């Protein structure tokens, strides 16, 4: 088969949708090299590149398309797709407008409908644009991939998508998180970022939904019993981050809560993420809502215990290997952190269960499921 991907995020996004896109593309090309995969990228990237001979990058051709890459991606590249592929897969919630008039077989991955649940945490224009793109993609895709049962339920409940049109295909995490760093590598990374153990790790954008302020409140309770640090990996520059910083100052936690991306480049940090996970006492990820929650898997694959939310898809991502707590209950969060820090046997049990759980989301299994969806599409159309 000739399969095309919307590869913008794969080339340009260092986290989230970018990680998902890269993992899918790499896994399919590695495990199923008999297919040819076309990567439709609106603009050349210096961040990421792909070297498999099965992967062919397609960029805008012609002066106008090159000058207006966003329009090429959202509308004009349909002609480039029709020339090359049997199936086109929108990896990040959207399909090019107008593709419904073509005979191309279409798949779209829908990650979440969080903006429908928390519209006040998004710009009004963004909500309008997202809704238009998502509904168009859901209407005109032949098959929708939802990355969790939670997302599938939202698609059925909020957009009235027929459930038989949706296939749930969980994410996997990059194989590098299963690889252990040697002691020298670990010490080098710690020295580079000026970190000391023990530390808890928070990963995610600094926005209200990710719940960092309550993590800081739980961490404050922990500080009353033992000295440790909280390392935050994620960006934010709005009022919510101001609230977090004000709380840190008020509670005299400056120097104990460390924001890595305030001082180091995001792409460099991403390369060191496996080691940063491996050093952490636990990942604290009590998000109010996620489409899946890939940091949960990354931490487990890295041999790191996980404290996460008992809401939305996070119970699917964490299974029985994570400590799932009420994300609004800072005392429960603090108790979970204390147990992992002080109960050695429990910590070892969390690590072992997490490693076993993460193996069920490996790249080969995910690639097989996605390929089976492509084959199903070929069979029914």
Q: What is the DSSP letter of 100?
A: G
- Collapsing DSSP to helix, strand or coil, 304 comes out as coil
Residue 18 confidence (pLDDT) above 70: yes
C-alpha span between 58 and 76 (Å, rounded):
13
Q: What is the pLDDT of residue 372?
A: 95
Q: What is the mean pLDDT of the chain?
A: 93
For 229-250, how does the pLDDT look when each residue is reduced to its tens digit (9 = 90+)?
A: 999 999 988 899 999 999 999 9
Q: Which residue in 358, 356, 312 sits closest to 118, CA to CA?
A: 312
Residue 376 confidence (pLDDT) above 60: yes
Instruction: List Cβ neighbours of 46 (8 Å cut-off, separation of 6 or more).
Output: none
Residue 53 confidence (pLDDT) above 60: yes
Strands, sheet with 36-40, edge to edge from the N-terminal-most edge strand: 55-58, 36-40, 2-6, 87-90, 105-110, 143-146, 166-168
In the chain, domain spans: 2-172+362-380, 175-359
| Residue for token pair 């792409």 | 267
pLDDT exceeding 90 applies to what percent of the chain?
A: 78
Q: What are the tokens at 32?
A: 């199923």
C-alpha span between 148 and 140 (Å, rounded):
20
Q: How sure is the predictor about 146, in pLDDT bands with cuts at 50, 70 and 90?
A: very high
C-alpha span between 148 and 135 (Å, rounded):
18
pLDDT exceeding 70 applies to what percent of the chain?
A: 99
CATH architecture of the domain formed by 2-172+362-380: 3-Layer(aba) Sandwich (3.40)
Q: What is the pLDDT of residue 174?
A: 85
Q: What are the tokens at 322?
A: 């994570």
Q: How sure is the predictor about 380, in pLDDT bands with cuts at 50, 70 and 90?
A: low
- The CATH homologous superfamily to which domain 175-359 belongs is Glycogen Phosphorylase B; (3.40.50.2000)
In sign, the C-alpha dihedral spanning 101, 104, 107, 108 is negative
Instruction: List Cβ neighbours of 338 (8 Å cut-off, separation of 6 or more).
Output: 222, 225
| Residues in the chain, total | 381
Whether 2-172+362-380 and 175-359 share one fold: the answer is yes
Q: What is the pLDDT of residue 175?
A: 87
For 348-364, how does the pLDDT look when each residue is reduced to its tens digit (9 = 90+)?
A: 999 999 999 999 998 99
- Taking residue 75's Cβ as centre, other Cβ atoms within 10 Å add up to 13
Compute the chain's Rg from CA coordinates: 21
Helices 149-159 and 124-140: angle between axes, nearest 10 degrees: 100
Backbone angles phi, psi at 204, to 5 degrees: 145, 160
Q: What is the DSSP letter of 181?
A: P
C-alpha span between 313 and 125 (Å, rounded):
27
Cβ distance 128 to 46 under 8 Å?
Answer: no
For 156-202, how does the pLDDT look when each residue is reduced to its tens digit (9 = 90+)?
A: 999 999 999 999 999 888 889 999 999 898 899 999 999 999 999 99
């Amino acid at each position: 088969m000739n399969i095309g991907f919307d590869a913008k995020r794969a080339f340009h996004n260092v986290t989230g949708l970018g990680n998902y896109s890269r993992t899918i593309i790499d896994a399919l090309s590695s495990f199923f090299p008999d297919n040819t995969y076309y990567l439709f990228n609106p603009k050349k990237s210096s961040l990421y590149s792909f070297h498999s001979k099965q992967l062919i990058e397609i960029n805008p051709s012609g002066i106008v398309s090159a000058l207006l890459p966003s329009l090429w991606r959202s509308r004009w590249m349909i002609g480039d797709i029709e020339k090359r592929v049997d199936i086109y897969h929108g990896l990040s919630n959207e399909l090019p407008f107008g593709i419904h008039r073509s005979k191309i077989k279409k798949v779209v991955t829908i990650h979440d409908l969080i903006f429908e649940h928390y519209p006040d945490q998004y710009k009004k224009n963004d909500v309008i644009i997202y809704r238009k793109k998502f509904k168009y993609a859901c209407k005109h895709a032949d098959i929708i991939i939802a990355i969790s049962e939670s997302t599938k339920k939202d698609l059925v409940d909020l957009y009235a998508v027929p459930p038989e049109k949706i296939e749930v295909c969980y994410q996997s995490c990059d194989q590098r998180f299963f690889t252990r760093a040697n002691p020298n590598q670990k010490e080098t990374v710690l020295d580079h970022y000026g970190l000391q153990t023990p530390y808890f790790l928070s990963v995610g954008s600094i926005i209200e939904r990710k719940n960092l302020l309550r993590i800081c409140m739980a961490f404050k309770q922990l500080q009353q019993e033992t000295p440790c640090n909280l390392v935050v990996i994620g960006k934010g520059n709005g009022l919510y981050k101001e609230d977090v910083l004000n709380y840190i100052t008020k509670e005299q936690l400056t120097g104990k809560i460390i924001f890595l991306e305030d001082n180091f480049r995001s792409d460099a940090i991403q390369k060191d993420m496996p080691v940063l996970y491996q050093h952490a006492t636990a990942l604290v990820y009590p998000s109010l809502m996620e489409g899946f929650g890939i940091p949960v898997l990354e931490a487990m694959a890295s041999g790191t215990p996980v404290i996460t939310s008992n809401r939305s898809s996070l119970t699917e991502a964490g299974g029985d290997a994570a400590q799932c707590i009420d994300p609004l209950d800072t005392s429960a969060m603090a108790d979970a952190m204390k147990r992992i820090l002080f109960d050695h046997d429990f910590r070892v049990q969390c690590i072992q269960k997490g490693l076993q759980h993460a193996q069920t989301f490996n790249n080969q299994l995910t690639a097989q499921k996605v390929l089976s969806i492509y084959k199903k599409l070929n069979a029914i159309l």
